[in-house]
């Protein structure tokens, strides 16, 4: 009796049964004759041969191959459409011992994810990218992909892809081959036995680059989609050989495995406890328990001026001080595109109750650092509210309101007398603190210390608060 | 005198097979066929003619299903 030994069988890195469905748990979800199934097998075999199952993390895309994690018994992440290279970057950098394989369709990689793949390739990230190019959006029912061959009908190109209105097909391997960093770029086909056997070798080579940690390897696979192409599986293979391969020439575009050095291991991230020091967020003040607010408060503040006048900073100091005093706070900046001399304003809320909205449409207090800001926001101040206005003279006739309390002073001149007109905002802060019983001064001082690093400036700011208080002091 | 045994043999899982016919088309000695009966899913599953396999493995690679085909090779006596 002749005896036989198994030479080809299901890869070990695939699950014995797939838990996705209640029945037929050893069948994939792919259509009969789908190239994804073949690509999956070639990849699984390469993983087995390289002996890296326990180190592999597969990134599955959106598209027909979304369910890779039901099949591959490796680490798995399923990501949003087109983002596999970005997630793969994070994985391979934070887990440098792992082997990251990102698997994407042509809609995923060449349409919505074009930016991600381009830059991951350009950075030479340590990952293997399997790019299954079936020239169509399979999962969503056959819309044109960037890779759809000219003349091919799809649901969105019912008369066939037109060079002038739809552009010619995008060749991703060639595009990536214009970059310096990738180590390996190859296009293979699944059009017949010979092509499939060649493809098997390329899967192995692209994966070995990961084992050696040489960098980025990219494998484009021309893959049949018999269902959407409306061809039987054998004709779909022929379409790969005779049609797709004309648009997308099969072959190796780059193989630098001989000269490529191992990429340096990514620098480990600093421990989280170190972050405050690195970001210069530490100060010497001892940690104090969260304060309990001494009284109920509902401050709705709008601060407005020119960019560079310290509008946003003043808002931040107040919000920080409110926070330290134990209130709920919000700070919402709103500024034009220019960093200097545009207008800028911010909304600040400091309340005993939770902040229902960070938007302050009808402020109880308006700090207007110049006349245009006063003109713009005065009508929105709530009746009985207060305006602190930085003006050389009283506000113009048409910028007054009898139902609103005004504190008008030339705050900039006061700041100048202290050494810098940049302290105008803090002089106005002093006036506000004096005029309204808001927050204890120690919290304001502590917030200032958190924001202002230089002692010289702190001294100016504390003097500025005093000057402001004197101005607002009721005589 | 007994005939020389085949160099190879294949085992097909008729429930995993989706009847795509790629293995039938690809097999060099043409020793595979699609059955006339239907499997649980309603496909005509591929089947081995019973003789003539060379254990080349081609059917294994062209088949999109991970475990539908197992290829075996004759162990030299
Ligand atoms: C952000 C987002 N946009 C759109 C979709 C819809 N969508 C699902 S799959 C797909 C196209 C997939 O095509 P391809 O990447 O070629 O994979 P295939 O299905 O052909 O294998 C689209 C547009 C989505 N899921 N998410
Ligand atoms: S639609 Fe096309 S790509 Fe998607 S599973 Fe079916 S054959 Fe494969
Ligand atoms: S192993 Fe080769 S000869 Fe045997 S059935 Fe498969 S394709 Fe045909
Ligand atoms: S290639 Fe696989 S799925 Fe297709 S008919 Fe043959 S055994 Fe069945």
CA-based nearest distance A79→chain B, Å: 24
Condensed to tens digits (0 to 9), the pLDDT of residues B21-39 reads 999 999 999 999 999 999 9
Q: Which residues of A touch B57 (CB under 8 A)?
A: 7-8
Residue B3 lies in a domain: no
CA-based nearest distance B29→chain A, Å: 14
pTM: 0.77
Give CATH for domain A22-255: 3.40.50.970
CA pseudo-torsion sign A60, A65, A69, A74: negative
Residues of A with CB under 8 A from a CB of B: 2-11, 14, 24, 26-28, 30-38, 40-42, 44, 71, 192-193, 196-197, 200, 226, 232-234, 237
Residue A475, pLDDT > 60, answer no
Is B13 in Cβ contact with A41 (below 8 Å)? no
Q: Which residues of B touch A71 (CB under 8 A)?
A: 66
Condensed to tens digits (0 to 9), the pLDDT of residues A179-223 reads 999 999 999 999 999 999 999 999 999 999 999 999 999 999 999
Parent domain of B31: 8-73
Q: What is the pLDDT of residue A344?
A: 87
Ligand 2 centre distance from Cα of residue A156 (Å): 17
The pLDDT-based confidence of A474 (bands split at 50, 70, 90) is low
Is B70 in Cβ contact with A233 (below 8 Å)? no
* Number of domains into which chain B is organized: 1
Residue B1 lies in a domain: no
Condensed to tens digits (0 to 9), the pLDDT of residues A141-179 reads 999 999 999 999 999 999 999 999 999 999 999 999 999
- CATH number of the domain residue B43 falls in: 3.30.70.3270
Q: Where are the domains of chain A?
A: 22-255, 298-472
Domain A298-472 falls in which CATH fold? Pyruvate-ferredoxin Oxidoreductase; domain 3 (3.40.920)
> ipTM for the complex?
0.95
Q: What is the pLDDT of residue A337?
A: 62
Q: What stretch of H or E contains A417?
A: helix A411-418
B8 in contact with A, Cβ within 8 Å = yes
Please choose, from the candidates A103, A15, A123, A101, the residue with its C-alpha nearest in 3D space to the C-alpha of residue A50.
A101
Mean pLDDT in residue range B58-73 = 97
Ligand 3 atom at shortest distance from the alpha carbon of A8: 1
Q: In terms of DSSP H, where are the helices of chain B?
A: 22-26, 58-62
In this prediction, what percent of chain A has a pLDDT beyond 70? 97
Q: Which residues of B touch A193 (CB under 8 A)?
A: 26, 58, 61-62
The pLDDT-based confidence of A285 (bands split at 50, 70, 90) is low
CA-based nearest distance A110→chain B, Å: 24
| B58 CB near ligand 3 (under 6 Å) | yes
Check residue A274 and report its DSSP letter.
Answer: G
The phi, psi pair for B51, rounded to 5°, reads -155, 155
Q: What is the pLDDT of residue A24?
A: 80
């Amino acid at each position: 009796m002749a005896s036989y030994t198994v030479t080809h069988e299901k890869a070990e890195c695939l699950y014995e049964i797939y838990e996705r469905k209640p029945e037929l748990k050893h069948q994939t979800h792919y259509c009969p004759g789908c190239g994804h199934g073949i690509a999956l097998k070639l990849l699984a075999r390469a993983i087995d041969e390289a002996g890296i199952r326990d180190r592999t993390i597969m990134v599955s895309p959106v598209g027909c191959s979304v369910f890779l994690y039901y099949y591959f018994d490796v680490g798995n992440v399923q990501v949003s459409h087109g983002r596999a290279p970005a997630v793969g970057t994070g994985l391979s950098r934070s887990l440098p011992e792992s082997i990251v394989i990102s698997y994407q369709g042509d809609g995923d990689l060449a349409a919505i994810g074009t930016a991600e793949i381009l830059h991951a390739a350009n950075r030479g990230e340590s990952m293997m990218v399997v790019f299954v190019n079936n020239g169509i959006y399979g999962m969503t029912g056959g819309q044109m992909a960037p890779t759809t061959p000219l003349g091919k009908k799809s649901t969105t190109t019912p008369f066939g892809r037109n060079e002038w209105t739809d552009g010619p097909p995008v060749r991703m391997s060639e595009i990536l081959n214009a970059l310096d960093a990738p180590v390996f770029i190859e296009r293979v086909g699944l059009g017949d036995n010979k092509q499939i056997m060649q493809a098997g070798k390329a899967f192995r080579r692209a994966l070995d680059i990961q084992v050696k940690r040489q960098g980025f390897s990219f494998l484009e696979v021309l893959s049949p989609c018999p269902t959407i192409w409306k061809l039987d599986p054998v004709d779909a293979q022929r379409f790969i050989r005779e049609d797709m391969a004309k648009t997308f020439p099969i072959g190796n575009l780059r193989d630098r495995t001989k000269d490529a050095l191992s990429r340096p291991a990514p620098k480990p991230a600093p421990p989280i406890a170190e972050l405050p020091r690195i970001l210069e967020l530490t100060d010497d003040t001892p940690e104090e328990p969260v304060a309990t607010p001494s009284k109920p408060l509902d401050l709705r503040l709008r601060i407005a001026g020119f960019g560079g006048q310290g509008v946003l900073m003043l808002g931040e100091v107040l919000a920080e001080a409110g926070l330290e005093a134990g209130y709920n706070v919000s700070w919402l900046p709103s500024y034009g595109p220019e960093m200097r001399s545009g207008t800028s304003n911010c909304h600040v809320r400091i309340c005993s109750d939770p902040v229902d909205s960070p938007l302050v449409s009808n402020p109880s207090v308006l700090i207007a650092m110049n006349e245009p800001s006063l003109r713009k926001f005065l009508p929105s101040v709530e009746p009985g509210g207060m305006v602190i206005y930085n003006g050389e003279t009283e506000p113009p006739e048409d910028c007054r309101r009898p139902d609103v309390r005004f504190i008008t002073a030339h705050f900039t001149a006061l700041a100048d007398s202290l050494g810098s007109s940049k302290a105008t905002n803090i002089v106005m802060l002093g006036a506000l603190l004096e005029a309204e019983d808001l927050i204890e001064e120690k919290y304001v001082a502590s917030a200032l210390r958190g924001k202002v690093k230089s002692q010289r400036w702190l001294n100016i700011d504390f003097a500025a608060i005093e000057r402001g208080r004197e101005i607002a002091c009721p005589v | 005198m007994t005939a020389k045994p085949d160099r190879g043999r294949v085992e097909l899982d008729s429930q995993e097979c989706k009847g795509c016919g790629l293995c039938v088309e690809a097999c060099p000695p043409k020793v595979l066929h699609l059955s006339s009966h239907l499997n649980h899913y309603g496909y005509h599953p591929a089947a081995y003619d019973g003789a003539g396999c060379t254990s080349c493995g081609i059917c294994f690679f062209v088949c999109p299903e991970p475990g539908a085909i197992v290829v075996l090779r004759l162990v030299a006596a």
